[in-house]
Amino acid sequence: MAEGTRAGRAVTVMLICCFLWSAVEAPGESRQRLAARKHLRRLNKPAVKSIESPDGDIIDCVHIAHQPAFDHPFLQNHTIQSRPAFHPEGLYDAGKVASEVSKKKPNSIVQLWHQNGRCPEGTVPIRRTRKEDILRASSIKRYGRKKHRAIPRPNSANPDLINQSGHQHAIAYVEGDKYFGAKAIMNVWEPIIRQPNEFSLSQLWVLGGSFGEDLNSIEVGWQSDAYQATGCYNLLCSGFIQINSEIAMGASISPISEYGGSQYDISILVWKDPKEGNWWMQFGSDSVLGYWPSFLFSYLAESASMIEWGGEVINSEPEGQHTATQMGSGHFPEEGFGKASYFRNIQVVDESNNLRSPKRMGAFTEQSNCYDVQSGSNGDWGSYFYYGGPGRSPNCQ
């Protein structure tokens, strides 16, 4: 992570995970707002302490046993696992992540709410969902859900289907093996979002099953948008159990990378504990955030069949034109370090619980004239790629 500061700028780092619920969307604005309030009462749990972030978010410190995960019917009598039994082998090898950037003394990326306090021991920080978050979604019933066809499916960019879901991607991926986790370091930007119903995110996907109704997905990264949105699906994935009292999913982080200036990146690791079988998530070098119990999954209960890394945007085609919402830095990958977005030191976890560079990593984008991806490999960054773009331009209509 490069040194430097950038005051007053932040994006959201979030665990992207859906909430499934059974309320019926009510017609009419007043009934919609009533339904939104009812839904908020279910999402926002009583707080031991609440902290107001400088960006206006409220972080509720919720008792660890009262967090939303335990609304899941399969977790009513679940015993919380306080730590993973095993980390992937090679995670703390000094030579694994050597680069010109990481050799410098790193500056910490922090969440803005830390400026006004911390959560007490025995609680977990949860960003309070607001009525505006829910009402900005396409419907209250759809809040926190993601369509199956929104997951990037490499080698399936049929021109007639590109904008069917409104989602566009620039990703690297691996398939053809059993995967037990994935890791990457990604730099953080504040892409411009042109429409209130659009977003731009950068993340990794851990996928199991086919791209039909049986797909399981874990998705983790950072997102810049007008509302909190989207996530995994085809399982009751509100069952993420948080154990960390320092990091709030959905809360803003700072500082961020600057075009032609200082670069800031974050490390994300998702892996399957070979002893307990749960899928764990780690943010940074040592912040284990929590886990998904393996019994919540079907295909991911055993292993993943595909890993993806990269960017995603919503293209709502305002006025019949391609959106100008940016992906990553908003610049194409050929501009390189300090100007384009990157993923570096990309690794997968194999069946022996070893971190290793991926074999035969492919690249995919629906419209390379709008958002593109270019991959490579070297001794410092291992497997890496640059990605992103500006969206609408003379070559992207």
Number of H helices, E strands in the chain: 2, 20
**Catalytic-labelled residue, pool 190, 219, 258, 366:** 219
Residue 325 and residue 193 in contact, taking contact as beta carbons nearer than 8 Å? yes
**Catalytic-labelled residue, pool 198, 308, 312, 366:** 312
Retrieve residue 170's tokens. Answer: 């620039």
Going by C-alpha positions, the residue among 352, 263, 359 that lies closest to residue 5 is 263
Q: CA geometry: angle at 266 spanning 234 and 295, to 5°? A: 25
219 is a catalytic site residue: yes
Q: CA geometry: angle at 88 spanning 87 and 91, to 5°? A: 95
Which residues make Cβ contacts (< 8 Å) with residue 274, sequence separation at least 6?
85, 86, 180, 353
Please give the full DSSP string across 353-394, using - where no structure is assigned: SBEEPPSS-EEEES-TTTSEEEEEEETTTEEEEEEEB-SSBT
Please give the full DSSP string across 215-268, using - where no structure is assigned: -EEEEEEEEEESS------SS-GGG-EE--SS--TT-EEE----TTS---EEEE
Kindly tell me the sign of the dihedral angle through the C-alpha atoms of 173, 177, 178, 180. negative
258 is a catalytic site residue: no
Which residues make Cβ contacts (< 8 Å) with residue 45, sequence separation at least 6?
60, 62, 66, 67, 68, 126
Residue 209 and residue 298 in contact, taking contact as beta carbons nearer than 8 Å? yes
Going by C-alpha positions, the residue among 122, 165, 127 that lies closest to residue 145 is 165
Q: Is the peptide bond before 255 cis (omega within 30 degrees of 0)?
A: yes
Retrieve residue 139's tokens. Answer: 């419907």
Q: Which phi and psi (to 5°) does residue 262 adopt?
A: -65, 145
User: Residues with catalytic annotation?
Assistant: 219, 312
